[in-house]
Amino acid sequence: MSLIEPEHPFAEFIKILGKGKKGARPLTQDEAYRAMKMILADEVLPIQLGAFLMLMRVKEETPEELAGFVAAAQESFDCSSAVKVDLDWSSYAGKRRHLPWFLLSTLLLAENGIKVFMHGAGGHTEGRVYTENVLRQLGIDYAHSLAEAEQQLTQHNFSYLSLEHICKPLYEMINLRPVMGLRSPVHTLVRLLNPLQASHSIQGIFHPSYRQVHQKAALLLGQQRMAVLKGEGGETERNPDVECLVQSVYDGELLDETWPALFERRHMKDEELNPESMRQLWQGKLEDEFAEATIIGTAAVALKLLGKAGDQQQAHELAEQFWQQRNKQRL
């Protein structure tokens, strides 16, 4: 007489998602929270994890699911910081059409007293330029621990820390991208982690439908001040050639605002992504109207979110002033 194997506890969540067109439904926020708790505690079989991630990928995450995943992830690590961080900036997409000019936006903000903590992961998609690789070429050391990140924030107002040093299981899952051939919910949830509990956070997405999912998930998580935009290449970067819709949470309210294009005609994409151009521009050895407009325009969105300016024009003028001041200092 054979014994029937008891059902694995995680099978509950796979059944909810995979019962077919009529039987399947999204997870509730609590179910998503419990599912991610099990995943991060290594209580899930590899075959179950693969099935779960791909079922989620096919149907796409709801704000409730995303909020549950993020809450579980935040509980899995202790990143309480003695340093008051102004702006959490996620960088997970990598760039393939243009250089990551947004990096110079963050450095510009940092030069003007704004503490920016950036987290990301590199190398999970072939053919893209990732933040941590470019930082090396700019001569900027990234942190290898939370303690080092705090030290850098105190000294330089900027630090980049890989997800590997924040939540290793999530880092391992995000690197399943080449194995699965597709992104997974992990690529979405990591953008909302805000590991050092910054007072403000900003994220970039590629698919416009995810903008509102991020916005509503942030509201469910109780994040008071966050903004999400369709960034160039999926990074947190405003493309100056097109209108930019920014959707945000501000003190419990959902807000939408459109930032105008800064040029009438679109620029050609770079023939070659050479990070050396970023270093030269930052040092005042190169002029590039598209790059400068990207840097200033992206910084302006952040400055308005931070409450440093009352409207878009003031924010843009302040970002432009920051850029012109550093140009004068180099003369």
46-51: long-range pairs with CB below 8 Å, 24+: 48/8, 48/10, 48/11, 48/14, 49/173, 50/180, 51/14, 51/18
Banded pLDDT at 179 (limits 50, 70, 90): confident
Cα gap 130→121, rounded to integer Å = 8
Report whether pLDDT(330) > 90. no
pLDDT tens per residue across span 46-69: 999 999 999 999 999 999 999 999
pLDDT tens per residue across span 66-81: 999 999 999 998 777 7
pLDDT at 81: 77
pLDDT tens per residue across span 209-218: 889 999 999 9
Rounded percentage of the chain residues whose pLDDT exceeds 90: 72
Cα gap 261→244, rounded to integer Å = 7
**Alpha carbon separation from 230 to 110, 235, 304 (Å, rounded):** 23, 8, 17
pLDDT at 274: 85
- The mean of the pLDDT values for the chain is 92
CATH number of the structural domain 87-330: 3.40.1030.10
CA angle in degrees (0–180, nearest 5) for 223-225-227: 105
What are the residue boundaries of the structural domains of the chain, listed by start? 11-76, 87-330
pLDDT tens per residue across span 235-279: 999 999 999 999 999 998 999 999 999 998 888 877 778 888 999
Of 275, 297, 292, 277, give the one whose Cα is nearest residue 327: 292
Rounded percentage of the chain residues whose pLDDT exceeds 70: 97
Q: What is the mean pLDDT of residues 5-32?
A: 92
Of 240, 148, 241, 244, give the one whose Cα is nearest residue 202: 244
Cα gap 15→9, rounded to integer Å = 11
pLDDT at 267: 87
The CATH number of domain 11-76, selected from 1.20.1250.20, 1.10.357.10, 1.20.970.10, 1.10.1740.10? 1.20.970.10
Do 278 and 134 form a contact (C-beta atoms < 8 A)?
yes
Q: What is the mean pLDDT of residues 102-111?
A: 97
Report whether pLDDT(318) > 70. yes
Which two three-digit tokens encode residue 5? 């194997």
How far is the first Cα of the chain from the last one, in angstroms, to the nearest whole number? 87
Cα gap 301→305, rounded to integer Å = 6
pLDDT at 213: 94
**Alpha carbon separation from 56 to 141, 215, 278 (Å, rounded):** 36, 19, 37
For the ranges 141-145, 175-179, 258-262, 292-296, the lowest mean pLDDT is seen at 175-179
Do 42 and 28 form a contact (C-beta atoms < 8 A)?
no
Banded pLDDT at 293 (limits 50, 70, 90): very high
Banded pLDDT at 106 (limits 50, 70, 90): very high
pLDDT at 2: 56
pLDDT at 125: 67
- Going by C-beta distance under 8 Å and a sequence separation of 6 or more, which residues neighbour residue 219? 63, 249, 252, 254
Banded pLDDT at 94 (limits 50, 70, 90): confident
Report whether pLDDT(194) > 60. yes
